[in-house]
Amino acid sequence: MVRKRNTRVGNRYLILLILTISFIACKEDPKPVFLEEELAIVEEVPEDIYEFGFNLNDYVVKRDTIKRGDTFGVILERNKLGYPKIFHIAEKAKDSFDIRRLQVGKPYTLLCSKDTLEIPKCFIYQPNPEEYVVINFQDSIYAYNSRKPIKYVEKTATGVITNNISETLEEQGLSPRLAYKMADEIYAWTIDFRRLQKGDRFKVIYTDKYIDDTIYTGVHNIKAAFFEHNKEPFYAFEFETDSVKGIIDYFNEEAKNLRRAFLKAPVKFKRISSRYNLKRRIAVYGYRVRPHKGTDFAAAIGTPIMATANGTVTESRRRGGNGNYVKIRHNATYETQYLHMSRRNAKVGQFVKQGDVIGWVGMTGNTGGPHVCYRFWKNGRQVDPFKQKLPEAKPISDSLKVKYLDFIAPIKVQLDTIPFRDEVLEKTLENKNNLISFKD
């Protein structure tokens, strides 16, 4: 009897203790009452997204491209802006950007107010992937040109030729631009890429270019290359010989220039449709002798025409049977001329470098089809460039040679330590076979 009474008393004390603790806890920590309010405060804030220097989260963003018939005024009026305001914006911005220069197909972005009206506050035009023009009219009106951040990433590649270099690069998912640069810019005068041998191999250090860290725009440049052709080694190192004019050439490990002074042709041509011929007879003119003092390279309309050597533009005009043409003086001995362009891309007095685009193939002047007539002067007289013993490119100066050799020393070490792709595959296969043998 005594034992049961003590048990009941103990239970009562235990219940009182639990109630007391619960009451104190509720009194000291009333937060559960406001649980819903707390959850409302923990709201996910969208991450800031910056482009063109603006936080896009602050605007309604509208993107489009310039259509045929679009003008600056038409675009803004279509987006609820009145013409008096548009005219005022155009007048204020004209010193920084001519709104008449909008090109069909180019992208633009409108930053609009983040409300039901969505009134434009800023117009951004992109003439190319890198550059953009901002016309800001949300407070005061002003315009400026800017560039997106550029990132260069150094990479390496190697390959073994089985058929041609383009196919070798494609198998590895590499840019065909690498093949073009090696074949046409670096080894054009030392290796005939149409006659590569099976087993020829190469390695290259190059730089890829990215806009805004994400937009890949292709191979920017080749820093160094090594090509083993018919068991013979060919090194190439990029080096700037004239920082004022921005002249960059490729030299071998002994500082010898790999280029010639002139390119073989001013275009990527389908065929030579007419050669230099002082005794040419044409049926249209009754088979009379009508000398042809140029070389005609047939190519599609719009094909880029390149300066075949460094020089200064002395003529850029349209005249008679020549149509649109550009003439370049390279030095005291040589001049070149490029006829029948659809458009010109060089101005008188402009210094152009070998490979610069100076115009595009067309049919202006007297021509029966799209081509560029390439004329070549030596000491003031037109000659056949294919029969001239053309000079090599300017050798590196003695003062620069020491600097060049010091410059390429670590790059050559880097290049030499890159294993060839076939060697890596052989090593991997050897390790795999060794592993299988060990298991057996």
Higher pLDDT, 272 or 362: 362
- The topology under which CATH files domain 271-387 is Glucose Permease (Domain IIA) (2.70.70)
Taking residues 154-160, report their average pLDDT.
93
pLDDT band at 282 (very low <50, low <70, confident <90, very high): low
Of 150, 153, 154, 134, which Cα lies nearest the Cα of 212? 150
Count of alpha carbons within 13 angstroms of residue 66, beta-carbon side: 21
Output Rg (C-alpha) for the chain, integer angstroms. 35
Least confident of 3-12, 153-162, 221-230: 3-12
CA angle 255, 394, 414 (to 5 degrees): 25
- pLDDT for 124 equals 96
- pLDDT for 42 equals 56
Contacts of 213 (CB under 8 A, 6+ apart): 149, 151
- Total residues belonging to the chain: 440
Q: Are 70 and 123 in contact (CB under 8 A)?
A: no
Q: Is the pLDDT of residue 246 over 80?
A: no
Least confident of 33-47, 127-141, 246-260: 33-47
Higher pLDDT, 34 or 143: 143
Domains of the chain, by residue range, sit at 2-36, 51-147, 151-259+397-440, 271-387
- pLDDT for 407 equals 96
| DSSP string over 38-79 | HHHH--PPPPP-EETTEEGGGSEEEEEEPPTT--HHHHHHHT
- pLDDT for 79 equals 94
Q: Is the pLDDT of residue 394 over 80?
A: no
- The topology under which CATH files domain 151-259+397-440 is Nuclear Transport Factor 2; Chain: A, (3.10.450)
Best-predicted range by mean pLDDT (2-11, 165-174, 182-191, 406-415):
406-415
Q: Is the pLDDT of residue 3 over 60?
A: no
pLDDT band at 393 (very low <50, low <70, confident <90, very high): confident
Domain 51-147: which CATH number of 1.10.287.130, 3.10.450.350, 3.40.50.1820, 3.90.25.10: 3.10.450.350
Q: Are 187 and 138 in contact (CB under 8 A)?
A: no
- pLDDT for 15 equals 57
Q: Are 142 and 201 in contact (CB under 8 A)?
A: no
- pLDDT for 2 equals 45
Burial 415-437 (b: 16+ CB within 10 A, else e): beebebbeeeeeeeeeeeeeeee
pLDDT in tens, 47-89: 888 999 999 999 999 999 999 999 999 999 999 999 899 999 9
CA angle 94, 96, 97 (to 5 degrees): 65
Higher pLDDT, 189 or 317: 317
Pairing of strands 247-251, 371-378: unpaired
Taking residues 222-248, report their average pLDDT.
90
Of 115, 111, 127, which Cα lies nearest the Cα of 76? 111
Backbone angles phi, psi at 436, to 5 degrees: -65, -45
Tally of CB atoms within 10 A around 110: 22
Share the mean pLDDT of the chain. 84
- pLDDT for 43 equals 61
- pLDDT for 317 equals 96
Backbone angles phi, psi at 172, to 5 degrees: -95, 5
Does the pTM of the predicted model rise above 0.75?
no
Task: Kindly state the tokens that stand for 84.
Answer: 């008096």
Domains 51-147 and 151-259+397-440 are alike in CATH topology: yes
Higher pLDDT, 313 or 215: 313
Task: Kindly state the tokens that stand for 68.
Answer: 């045929």
Q: In the chain, pLDDT over 70 holds for what percent of residues?
A: 82
Higher pLDDT, 261 or 3: 261
Q: Is the pLDDT of residue 1 over 50?
A: no
Taking residues 398-427, report their average pLDDT.
87
pLDDT band at 309 (very low <50, low <70, confident <90, very high): confident
Task: Kindly state the tokens that stand for 208.
Answer: 């890829």
Tally of CB atoms within 10 A around 268: 14
